[in-house]
Chains A and B, each alone.
Chain A
Amino acid sequence: LIMALVHKLLNGVYILRKCQMPSAASCLFLGPHSADYCSSSLQKPAAAPGKAGSPQRKTERDLQGHHQKEVDLDITSPEEMPEVSFDKAIRDEIKDHFRRLKDEFVSHWIGPQGRPLHEVLLEQAKVVWQFRGKEDLDKWIVTSDKTIGGRSEVFLKMGKNNQSALLYGNLSSEAPQDGESSRSGYCGMVSRIPRGAFERKKSYDWSQFNTLYLRVRGDGRPWMVNIREDTDIVQRKNQMYSYFMFTRGGPYWQEVKIPFSKFFFSNQGRIRDTQFQLLLDKISSIGFTLADKVDGPFFLEIDFIGVFTDPAHTEEYAYENSPDLNP
């Protein structure tokens, strides 16, 4: 939105409602939201092969025949151009953000997380992520070592009957040929950080709960569950709390319960000597990583991810620090 506004100010002119020759450069500035409004104008009218053939054949026939028809050019006629409205895009975006801000105010009045306080205090189990539709998949990002030049592939799609999500792909531990990476081979998915009005970061408050609950169906591979805390400091973006999840394979669903006290701390991918307890009041995201050095295909089917209070679990923290390291 900000880039769009800057572009508009710099240009000083309004982009015409029905621009005849939109340039690709101007659309680069408009950002993803406005792209919906102008991208169609960049595309040639998507014509099926049969259709593409027929005007030509018709033209040939017409040339041969009696009168000439118009040749199908790349430039579409003004009447067929979709309406491109830069102002409308900005207006809609701003309205959307203010609507979300108003919703935040209302939910703030109602109580924590938009629910009455007694509900939040009495709650003992909560489903945080579930996979019942395509919109649930949009809350996740998949990543693999392709970003550093590796050869692993990972995909995420809805499972059967839209009752689960299937994370599948191919793990390859072949190191990228960039001269500096000697190891490779990871795939994973991370939840997107929840955003409020004006793209402000929000976080989850799981301080009522003490255990993570996952209903998954895997292929026997060991996965790592990673939780990140919300932070404003860039150095803490590499810190996370992890634990292992061993999938059984087989046709039956598996219920994995991991107490939050078991998560160990790591910074920049290395487990640190000084360990810290995972504080549950500002959780930013959860992720699953596969990096078991076994090349080949993999899959993980996830039904839902939730948190609950296990009254039998009274451990506060599973690890202790050496007094030399952490006096």
Chain B
Amino acid sequence: MNPLALSLILTTLLAGTLITMMSSHWLTAWMGLEMNMLTMIPILMKTTNPRSTEAATKYFMTQAMASMMLMMALTINLMYSGQWSITKMTNPVASNMALMALMTKLGSAPFHFWVPEVTQGVELTPGMILLTWQKLAPLSLLYQMATYTNTNLIYLSGLLSILIGGWGGLNQTQLRKILAYSSISHMGWMLIILPFNPTLTLLNLTIYIMLTLSIFMILTNTFTTSMSSLTLMWNKTPAMTIMLMTTLLSLGGLPPLSGFMPKWLMIHELTKNNSIIMPLTMAIMALLNMYFYMRLIYYSSLTILPSTNNMKMTWRFTNTKHTMTLPTLITLSNMLLPLTPMISMLE
């Protein structure tokens, strides 16, 4: 892409998210979301093949529909309360509609159908931006309107997201779809804890973004998009294969890795609020995610599948992809658990 156009697009993407995160007025927040959506379209269509065009079209349709629903919610809120403040969305119809619109933007169930299709249709880098950066703006709005949201709807959507994220990822061989379902599942965890402790939602989001960025960067460096090419990664980059293994375990929430921290704190928070069945259900459904992460680890790091020599002995070119943030991200993704008391102190 033309460097000037790319810088303009990335700047607008950054600005859109920051406008939404920093605004307390619904209209500016909505404007930021629209800027985000519009600049994401050329990013998704960076490679102009028909599949990425279809993915960008699907993304545009769903996000535009969510924006329309959000605008309707704001209008109803304005009609009943006469104000545009995000934190005071008292009308239940408006808050439910806004909640559904933001859940569509996040890709949580039952509005999740676009996530695997769009993520699979685009390259790894736009997919990475879609599953990490694009979550910031809607979650910041949900964080602000947490007190007036319908908790039943949030719990239902959260549980469905965890279930569908786990179930959907089970028989996938394409890595981008696996990460899309992983995203749906993590959104479920973030939504459920929102009425209890919104800070934990942000913590979960931060850890999730770190983990997802690490995995996407590893896959981008090794040009891996499917499980069959993952089985040959040990030959090209054995160190990165090991790191992928630990990062996936962390994403599954296994102690003593960083990914265990948000799950532990969330279950602790839920049980403190006399909710036993829900965290139990969430923990059991998270095992589905853990199952397909373990399968990825099994086939990439723990076993060597039969392959021919010309698949093993490939030409080794100088890697032109930059990896400067990857070691930091991997370290943070795996070794943050001992800092948990510090995070409790910040609350």
User: Which residues of A are interface residues toward B (Cβ below 8 A)?
Assistant: 108-113, 117, 120-122, 205, 207-208, 229, 231-233, 236, 239, 265, 274, 276-277, 279, 281, 311-312, 314, 326-327
Contact residues in B for A111 (Cβ distance below 8 Å): 170-171
Query: 5 smallest A-B Cβ distances: which pairs?
Result: A276-B49, A311-B308, A112-B171, A111-B171, A233-B54
B174 touching A207, Cβ below 8 Å: yes
Known pairs A207-B174, A233-B57 / 12 extra A-B pairs, C-beta < 8 Å: A108-B171, A109-B171, A111-B170, A112-B171, A112-B173, A121-B231, A121-B299, A207-B173, A208-B228, A232-B117, A311-B311, A327-B1
- CA A311 to CA B306, docked complex, whole Å: 13
A314 touching B310, Cβ below 8 Å: yes
Contact residues in A for B120 (Cβ distance below 8 Å): 281
- CA A121 to CA B50, docked complex, whole Å: 27
B228 touching A279, Cβ below 8 Å: no
- CA A205 to CA B225, docked complex, whole Å: 14
Interface residues of B in 278-297 (CB under 8 A from A): 295
A277 touching B49, Cβ below 8 Å: yes
Contact residues in A for B305 (Cβ distance below 8 Å): 121-122
CB distance from A325 to the nearest CB of B (A): 10
- CA A232 to CA B120, docked complex, whole Å: 14
- CA A239 to CA B51, docked complex, whole Å: 11
Interface residues of B in 11-50 (CB under 8 A from A): 48-50
Question: Does B58 have its Cβ within 8 Å of any Cβ on chain A?
Answer: yes
Contact residues in B for A277 (Cβ distance below 8 Å): 49
12 contacts between A and B (CB under 8 A): A109-B171, A111-B170, A112-B172, A117-B171, A117-B299, A121-B231, A205-B174, A207-B226, A208-B173, A232-B54, A276-B49, A311-B310
Residue of A nearest to B171 (CB): A112
Residue of B nearest to A111 (CB): B171
Contact residues in A for B306 (Cβ distance below 8 Å): 122
- CA A326 to CA B48, docked complex, whole Å: 8
Which of B54, B120, B172 has the most CB atoms of chain A within a 10 A radius of its CB?
B54
Contact residues in A for B58 (Cβ distance below 8 Å): 232
Contact residues in A for B54 (Cβ distance below 8 Å): 231-233, 236
CB distance from B293 to the nearest CB of A (A): 13
- CA A277 to CA B170, docked complex, whole Å: 28
- CA A109 to CA B169, docked complex, whole Å: 10
- CA A277 to CA B52, docked complex, whole Å: 12
Contact residues in B for A205 (Cβ distance below 8 Å): 173-174
- CA A276 to CA B231, docked complex, whole Å: 26
Question: Does B155 have its Cβ within 8 Å of any Cβ on chain A?
Answer: no
Question: Does B78 have its Cβ within 8 Å of any Cβ on chain A?
Answer: no
Residue of A nearest to B314 (CB): A314
Interface residues of B in 96-153 (CB under 8 A from A): 117, 120
CB distance from B309 to the nearest CB of A (A): 9
Contact with A along B35-77 (1 / 0, CB 8 A): 0000000000000111100100110000000000000000000
- CA A314 to CA B170, docked complex, whole Å: 30
